[in-house]
Chains A and B, each alone.
Chain A
Amino acid sequence: MTDISDRQQLSYIAAQAADARVNLELETEGMTLNIGPQHPATHGTLRIVAKLDGEQVIAADPVMGYMHRGYEKLSEVRTYPQVTTLINRIDWLGSFANEVPFILAAERLMEVEAPPRAQWIRTILFEMSRIANVVLFLGDMAVQVGAVTPVFFAFRDREHILNQIEGATGGRFHPNFDRIGGLKDDLPAGWVAETKQVMKKMRAFCDEIETLVMGNEIFQARTRGIGVIPADVGLSYGLSGANIRGSGVDWDVRRDNPCGLAYDQVDWKVWTHPDGDSFSRFWVRLQETREATKIVDQLLDGIPAGPIMAKVPRIIKVPAGEAFVETENPLGVMGYYVVSKGDLVPYRVKIRSASFNNMSITPWLLKGVYVPDIITILGSLYFILGDIDR
């Protein structure tokens, strides 16, 4: 471990030096390379304008907004329950997790608390969204270094999770299951036992990925020491999730501020990795997926009995006030700043999405790397375009 860290430190220094680098050995010429908006490595419509000197990046500027849908504006004309249908579409791989912080913010303003049973089921579905989302990353990260098989395994095994989410909520991608004051429905019969089986399958998938990808020599060479983010830089850019825990920062909203969710009821661990490179971000996500299956298993064992909805008025008017609630979503910290003036519609909703902050470090991070490393670094930061563009 120590000699790797040394190497990473050296590469970080090299990346810094590249900023003011003068190439004396080769006559290179500056050129601009456009990656995207339609490129397999950009997870959607993202364009990166990279200024190159030879094969080295001297400046990289992401251009987004190709899919900007204006959810903050639209939220101002939709009632609180209607907003959940919009925010489902922000991070489309872990939709249920998007709904939770907004619903919690509305509940805080209304001074309503969901019954314990609803909180537990919420937490279970939240973690299942995380698995459904991150599983795809684990496969996709291998694609960025040239291995195609793992992503097929990921799609294959994600089906099990999606089937379970569909079984409980009726929707595979956009559950729209969360309500102010609780949940739309109770769990169907036999769902708990089936989900436990699925969790076993997901743990097997994690083992498979570990043997297939993590020990692979090419994967190690392409990710170790590449894209190093020091902890203080990561913090000042507002990175979250595995991106900041991969830099050794021990911070997880699930543990540190579990408002309205049942994380403090179960036994689990926050994973961190000290290196801060592309590999450590992959490693943290793999451990987190395993940990998520364990959280779900424990929660499934102890779902409290009782109602799933608190008493809320039929027409929801939220009292005037301001509330910010953030949760640890699959991509990182997601929060909603809801300003209410006592109307049926929110006055202002600020969506703090994880990927927007996570991407904002790329101009700093891509400086000095080589062209193929752009792909692995972007892959390891793991963003969803809907989460950036909103």
Chain B
Amino acid sequence: MTSTTSTPLPAVDRPQPSATRGERGARRRIRKDLLRSRIAAWSAVVVIGAFGLLPVYWLLVTALSTPESTFQFPPKLIPTDLTLSNFTALAENDQLIKYMINSLVVASITAVLSVVVATYMGYSFSKFRYRGRRSLMHLVLASQMFPQALLLVTLYTVFSSFGMLNTYSALVLSFTTFTMPLCVWMLKGIFDTIPDALLEAAAIDGASRWRTLHSIVAPLAAPGMIAAGLFAFVRGWNDFIFALTLADKEKQTLPPGLVSTYIGEFQTAWPQLMAASLVVSVPVIVAFMFLQRYLVGGMTAGSVKS
């Protein structure tokens, strides 16, 4: 913005042919444009809305349907006999409750482990400058993009040779492969917003570096750490492939558990499966309602802006 030569302003008495008519025309055009863009916008919202939300409607309808009305063709788009029996059946299924407890345990431990480890790493990346820092950061970022299916094959052999298959530890560790990179980048973004002056002030007051981190920085970053933890929880809760492969019925989590419970070789219990799917989605939806605020910021911090 520092141009050395400033262009002279045009003379004031420059001829302005039919100023009022042109202006009125432009205004009319803008109004027409606005109307047209409103119409275009609403059409897009309606069409994409149908694509985006009708499946959700169908999820709800099926979850509330009786088995008889589900296996009717063509399906009734507006259901007449609704029932909650699919949900009550869930509550009575001990195996599903076990899967859910497994999911809660594994996703929670994953979240805590990821946040603790990522806090130190993110803090280091954010507040110190040292050789190799950028390479380490890139390594963390890139590790998020390695093929999971391949990683799984060798994690399986590693866990197998340590006798760790079908344990919570195997699930937690394997989930950490995709939650940690995310948390490191989110937390680095959060530490970046904490002014360096604060750390310097703490140092002048005689606080050690550990003390500064634990008693000054961490409390300030707490909301961000909770957000990162929720993200990690959700990712662990949603995982399918690792839990499917590394654990059996005893330690399996809900997503693969639903497959083994409901998807049969010949017939799938669709209403129950849809009801269970809704139940699986609830914690995630609740988490995201809390996370709304961090959503864009977190995503951009982790992947886009760096």
User: Is the pairing of A and B real?
Assistant: no
